[in-house]
Amino acid sequence: MPTDKFTSSITAGSLEVCLAQTTEETLAAQSLRYKVFYEEMAASPSVEMAKVKRDFDQFDEYCDHLIVVDHDRSENEEKVVGTYRLLRRSVADTHGGFYSSWEYNIDSVLQHPGEILELGRSCVEAPYRNRATMTLLWRGIAAYVLNYKVPLMFGCASFEGTDPSEHAMILSYLYHFHLAPKELRPVAQPKHFVKMNYITKENLDRRVAIRAIPPLIKGYLRLNGFVGDGAVIDRQWNSVDVSIVVKTDLVTQKYRNKLT
């Protein structure tokens, strides 16, 4: 189990980051995911999801749910304003594997020794999409990584919409400048594989591409994160996905002194 320090003492003003400890907190995280992914970003919910207005799947039962809670919100407001879903190898091995394997061949990641961590279902309520909230989430992830001695994280990040050509400049930039080394490189499953190198390296305007990168992906890159080979169109989620791999040493170095 996580340390007491991790679950209860990482705060910034009225915000606190912790693991969901109750069914109610997990349900609140799922409700936030529904609000962001389905109502705001136009993903397609199942009939069951639409009925209860929560995003859920079989992985939720055994993942850890990192949540950001705003304690200043009134009793009539939902207090969970940010979330990440966390799945460690030691848990995935006994529950059917990782979510990412549907889109990507992650054999190279699985060969990495020690505990590994899949990050997923990241979202923040619109008024809280700022540096303070994202920093708090990363402090929580850093504490989790330190607690479980995780050397490697991976997962997927998304672009809104299902036309990869609309993101040709960014996808090309990621491919040419941030492709994971072969020994750590996820590759999109053959039936899902979409090329990323729309624009040649020589014809790419790096400055323009960097400015256009979505904040979440830019955050991974600042931590020397890599991308896998191939994008994936996910029509249910109304997204174009890329695979992300991050060695955790830079994460823990950056946030180690901010965990109190």
- Which residues, in sequence order, are CB contacts of 47 under 8 Å at separation 6+? none
Percent of the chain whose pLDDT exceeds 70 = 95
Kind and range of the H or E run holding 174: helix 168-178
pLDDT for position 237:
93
pLDDT for position 27:
97
Instruction: Please give the residue range of the domain that contains residue 217.
Output: 4-258
CATH number at residue 65: 3.40.630.30
184: closest CA among 204, 156, 154? 154
pLDDT tens across 54-71, in order? 999 999 999 999 999 999
Mean pLDDT of 182-195: 97
Confidence band of 249 (pLDDT split at 50, 70, 90) = confident
pLDDT tens across 29-55, in order? 999 999 999 999 999 999 999 999 999
Beta strands in 89-175 (DSSP E): 104-105, 116-124, 152-160
Token code pair at residue 34: 């529904």
The 10 Å CB-count burial string (b at 16+, else e) for 72-108 is eeeeeeebbbbbbbbbbbebbeeeebbbbbebbbbeb
CA dist., res. 140 & res. 117, Å (int): 14
How many domains would you assign to the chain? 1
End-to-end Cα, the chain, rounded Å = 19
Check pLDDT > 70 for residue 72. yes
Q: Looking up tokens 């699985």, which residue turns up?
A: 110
Q: Apex CA 236: angle with CA 231 and CA 242, to 5°?
A: 20
